[in-house]
Amino acid sequence: MRIEKAKRIEQLPPYLFAEIDRKKEEMRKKGIDLIDLGIGDPDLPTPDPIIERLNRASQDPKNHHYPSYEGMIEFRTAVARWFERRFGVLLDPKTEVLTLIGSKEGIAHIPLAFVNPGDYVLIPSPGYPVYRVATLFAGGIPYVMPLLKENGFLPKLSEIPGEIAERSKLLFINYPNNPTSAIAERPFFEEVVAFAKKYEVIVCHDAAYSELAFDGYRPLSFLEIEGGKEVGIEFHSLSKTFNMTGWRIGFAVGHPDIVSGLGKVKTNIDSGLFQAIQEAGMEALQRYDTPIPNLIKIYEGRRDVVVKGLREVGLEVEVPKATFYLWIRVPRGYTSAQFATLLMEQAGLVVTPGNGFGEAGEGYFRIALTVDESRLKQAIERLKKVNF
């Protein structure tokens, strides 16, 4: 029998990190000791109180049934209280908060709620690959907003043609930013609100890194901006904040009609998140003020070690104010992919080529600070021996 994949699958590029995993496996089979600076998966353990809460909750028979589609009201209430403490924004846990099976799931599903075939979706490049993929799944047309260094890696909304903006349903933004580690301040968010109101575009703000900021910097929530809740939804994750990537728990907050639209998709696709994990999420949100100081201190130390080492070998990199990523220019004469391959083959270093995040990422590569400081120092020593 001939198996023919759907056109929506055939038009998708290979998922970036799956491709990198294949190359890593090939190198490991050759006996090479790899230092993996590719994927942003925290190496630090989930705090013990969160694990202990899961252990207790998993033994409670009431958690062995189907959970509610929207998420436990207790978890959503914990989210609302955390959000008020952290950002000063009041949320109705019943209508303005939705539990997610990780923020990636919510981001992937929201175009299905609002995008019709032929509608435009405004996506950043470089950017998290899921924005584009989710748009294609919904039959939408991605319109790329280049993030350029000279603009502080912020999109120039004024350069989006009016006829495109008029036909756009969603605008994806992400600050603090993956992969560039750029930040956005209040004037930019105010411009986004004005743009969204003018063109009736739903703003989807991916705030997964809001709690990983350095040197006393405190990232804003888009919902703090006047009018933000009227035009948008914000996605948050417990993954990076509490070292819970494998737990798959996050939440979306924002305009009730946008939240309910996403919720309607989810009720028809998934059956909610295991309640014991939601209880563990409650423990995290109720117990810890964020950012968590010792976590930030560890990442600051790693950042400083790697930035110093990169500059010593002549690579161009900014000191990030947030995220655990470094966005680095490749040396002259190399493409992003060529330089990433060189580092893997000559130094056993896994980095992510910038073009994997979109065409505007060409000329850069990304490092994730998710290995311990001793390995990072070893990575720098290896880098110093690479001939480029």
Q: What string of DSSP letters covers 310-321?
A: HHHTT--B---S
Query: How many percent of the chain have pLDDT more than 90?
Result: 89
Contacts with 203 (C-beta within 8 Å, 6 or more apart), sequence order? 170, 171, 173, 192, 193, 196, 222, 228, 231, 232, 233
What are the tokens at 242? 């509490």
For residue 140, CA distances in Å to 23, 122, 167, 230, 259 come to 32, 10, 10, 23, 20
Q: What is the residue type of 232?
A: G
Q: In terms of C-beta distances under 8 Å and separation of at least 24 residues, what long-range contacts does 67-70 make, across chains too? A: 67/271, 67/272, 67/273, 67/274, 67/275, 67/278, 68/272, 69/263, 69/266, 69/267, 69/270, 69/271, 69/272, 70/98, 70/99, 70/263, 70/272
Q: Give the burial class of 241: count Cβ atoms within 10 A of its Cβ; 0-12 exposed, 13-18 middle, 19 or more buried.
A: buried
Question: Is 7-45+292-384 in CATH node 3.20.20.10?
Answer: no
CA dihedral 371, 372, 373, 376 (to 10 degrees): -30
Q: What is the pLDDT of residue 325?
A: 98
Give the mean pLDDT of 106-130: 97
Please provide the DSSP assignment of 219-242 as one string. Answer: PPPGGGSTTHHHHEEEEEESTTTT
Confidence band for 9, pLDDT divided at 50, 70 and 90: confident
Question: What are the C-alpha distances in Å from 138 to residues 11, 166, 331, 372?
Answer: 13, 18, 38, 40
Mean pLDDT, the chain, whole residue set: 95
The structure's pTM equals 0.96
The share of the chain scoring above pLDDT 70, in percent, equals 99
Q: Is pLDDT above 70 for 217?
A: yes
**pLDDT band of 25, cuts 50, 70, 90:** confident
Identify the CA nearest to 316 among candidates 375, 365, 272: 365
Residue 86 has what pLDDT?
98
Q: Which of 180, 173, 240 is nearest to 212 (CA)?
A: 240
Question: Which pLDDT score is estimated for 66?
Answer: 94
Mean pLDDT of 266-270: 95
Per domain, the residue ranges of the chain are: 7-45+292-384, 48-287
Per-residue confidence band for 15, with pLDDT thresholds at 50, 70 and 90: low
Q: Whose CA is closest to 74, among 290, 243, 291, 277?
A: 277
Q: 16: pLDDT confidence band, cut at 50, 70 and 90?
A: low
Instruction: Using CA atoms of 264, 267, 270, 271 in order, give the dihedral in degrees to the nearest 10.
Output: 150
Band of pLDDT at residue 8, cut at 50, 70 and 90: confident
Q: Mind listing the pLDDT tens digit for each residue in 338-362?
A: 999 899 989 999 999 999 999 999 9
How many whole angstroms separate alpha carbon 184 and alpha carbon 162?
24
- pLDDT confidence of residue 191: 98
Region 261-277: mean pLDDT is 96
Quote the tokens at residue 48. 């013990």
Q: How many residues are recorded in the chain?
A: 388
Distance (Å, whole) CA 68 – CA 258? 19
Domain 48-287 grouped into CATH 3.40.640.10: yes
Contacts of 6 (CB under 8 A, 6+ apart): none
pLDDT score of 146: 98
pLDDT score, position 10:
77
Coil, strand or helix: which one is 29?
A: helix
Measured CA to CA, the distance from residue 274 to residue 31 in angstroms comes to: 40
List pLDDT tens digits, range 132-167.
Answer: 999 999 999 999 999 999 999 999 999 999 999 999
pLDDT at 32: 84
Q: Would you state the pLDDT for residue 52?
A: 98
Q: What is the pLDDT of residues 46-79, one digit of tens each?
A: 999 999 999 999 999 999 999 998 999 999 999 9
